[in-house]
Structure 1
Amino acid sequence: MAVSIPSIRKSGVNYFLEGFALIKQPGLRTFVFIPLTINLVLFASVMYFAFGQLEAFFNWMDGQLPEYLTWLNFFLWPLAVLTMLVVMSFIFSSVMNWLAAPFNGLLAEKVEKHLTGQNLNTGGTVDLIKDLPRILGREWIKLKYYLPRAILFLILFWVPVIGQTAAPILWFLFTAWMMAIQYCDYPFDNHKVPFNDMKFALKNTKGTSFSFGASVTLFSMIPIVNFIVMPVAICGATAMWVDKYREAYKNPHIVGE
């Protein structure tokens, strides 16, 4: 059955920007630092390997180009590095959502406690480890929801004229929706709210959901800055949960479509 969602005049952009302030709070820094450190270490390792391969490729290309075209390297190197940073950033955003899922849920829990002053009583480290299969199962549900739709939108890019005109706009809107689902799901999941009920709640507040997701998407496109997008988005999404959904969904047994 449907539930009443409180009407609070605050846009999704405001919630996302609020996340920047929340990650600096003394009681939350540790929980931001752990997934951020994992992200940086893995990203640095892969980038080190990728730069090595890129250097080997350009050395090979130098041997193939005539001398009068060697000046192309001055233009191709920055372009190749920028392209690699953007592509790797998007890949890592997806991979890190899996690797950092347990820490993301914990961060959402601590942010909620910071904002409400109330514990969620989700247990300690042992309980978190026991809950890992369910947490990763939730990520799998999100991936199953995402992949078929993403493939359809990508196919649309190949449709002449209409598809190529509409596809970029539709892809951005779809990505924004998925970013809202991805990060709002952590506080919802902490309260064991089913995935379909979470989607239903976000659809009831489409304006806020899409503006929040669009903000996450835009900041995720900025290399280096996107390192902190994940904890910022989790903090902002949890603030949105507290304001708009918590009272209606704190008892998951009353939630339904």
Structure 2
Amino acid sequence: MQHSSLSSVQYLSKGFSLIWKPKIRTFVFIPLLINLLLLTIATIYAFENLSSWYNSLQQSDSSIIQWVMEWLDWLIWPLVVICVFIVIFFIFAFIANWIAAPFNGLLSEAVEKYLANDQFIDKPFNFSEFFNDIPRLLKREWKKFLYYLPRALGCLILFLTPLAIVAPFIWFFFNAWMAGIQYIDYPMDNHKISFSQMLKEIRQQRGSTFGFGTIVMLLTMIPVVNILVMPAAVAGGTALWFDKFHHKQH
């Protein structure tokens, strides 16, 4: 099956359509359920704590904070809302990716089989292989976490500096890059491509990776739609990988 290069939006759109295919949708249910549960918790937590935190900020004893809040309240509140929701949703999405990693790997494999058509040697599902693969998959997620953590801390430190006004945007774009890595990595991991090699190949397609991750992040913040983002991103990321990276494996 031949595929032309698509835009980041088109790849995610393709992911949304792929997850309903007969041979793929079977592997969507568990990641979907995990995402629904954790995003519900994230939403409840955000709404319950955001207002009280912001009120305490307005009542701060610091004259600098009071001055900033008085003159820039119209700008700070939207930025705070965006920042808090991005942080909370990404943390919960990160946890969901850990829990759903084995199932997302199966979903990615099913999507690849569909895209490859008769070029793919279809094997029956093996429960033993699936459970044996879980430690390796979790180890991969741990490597992503070690890659993510120091860079995330560096971004968050910006909130305590004079660059705090642009920190939410830096935080968003960094997490968009991580989202691209997260979902394009599933098919690479299925093909036993090492983490370092995966990063090397992804950096050669920075535009596609970053663009795809940005669209994923934006949709993650839209209620209802965000429930389907994880499986659609896995499918869309696999389609992107199949178009732009798959030929390097053959």
Q: TM-score, normalised by structure 1?
A: 0.74
Tell me which residue corresponds to 1:155. Answer: 157
In structure 2, the residue matched to 1:236 is 236
Find out whether 1:16 has 2:12 as its counterpart: yes
Q: CA deviation at 1:120?
A: 6.3
Q: Give the aligned partner of residue 126 of structure 1.
A: 128
Task: Look up the equivalent residue of 1:241 and give its one-letter code.
Answer: W
CA shift, 1:136, in A, is: 0.2
Mark the CA change 1:232 to 1:147 in structure 2 (over 3 Å): closer, same or farther: same
Question: What is the number of residues matched between the two proteins?
Answer: 216
- Note if contact 1:18-1:236 (Cα within 8 Å) is conserved in structure 2: yes
**Higher mean C-alpha deviation, range 143-152 or range 166-175:** 166-175
In structure 2, the partner of 1:253 is: none
What aligned pairs does 1:169-208 form with structure 2 within 5 A after superposition? Answer: 169-208=169-208
Aligned ranges for residues 110-121 of structure 1 at < 5 Å?
110-117=110-117, 118-119=120-121, 121=123
CA contact (8 A) 1:112 1:242 kept: yes
Residue 242 of structure 1 and its aligned partner are, at CA, apart by 1.0
Larger Rg: 1
Partner Cα separation in structure 2 for residue 123 and residue 217 of structure 1: 32
The residue number in structure 1 matching 2:137 is 135
- Using CA pairs below 8 Å that are at least 6 residues apart, which structure has the higher relative contact order? 1
Change (3 A) 1:113 1:151: same
Paired letter, 1:224: V
Evaluate the alpha carbon distance shift between residue 170 and residue 102 of structure 1 in structure 2; reply closer, same or farther with a 3 A threshold: same
Residue 64 of structure 1 corresponds to: none
Structure 1 SS opposite 2:207: helix
Letter of the 1:106 partner, please give it: L
What amino acid is aligned across from residue 37 of structure 1 in structure 2?
A: L
Residues 89 and 226 in structure 1, CA contact (< 8 A), matched pair in contact too: no
Per mean C-alpha deviation after superposition, the further-off stretch among 127-136 and 241-250 is 241-250
Distance 2:173 2:35 in 1: 26
Query: TM-score if structure 2 supplies the norm length?
Result: 0.76
How far has the Cα of 1:90 moved from its partner? Answer: 3.5
How many percent identity over aligned positions? Answer: 47
RMSD over aligned Cα atoms: 3.0
Whole-angstrom CA distance in 2 between matches of 1:50 and 1:165: 24
User: Structure 2: how far apart are the matches of 1:218 and 1:182?
Assistant: 15
| Alignment partner of 2:26 out of 4, 23, 30 | 30
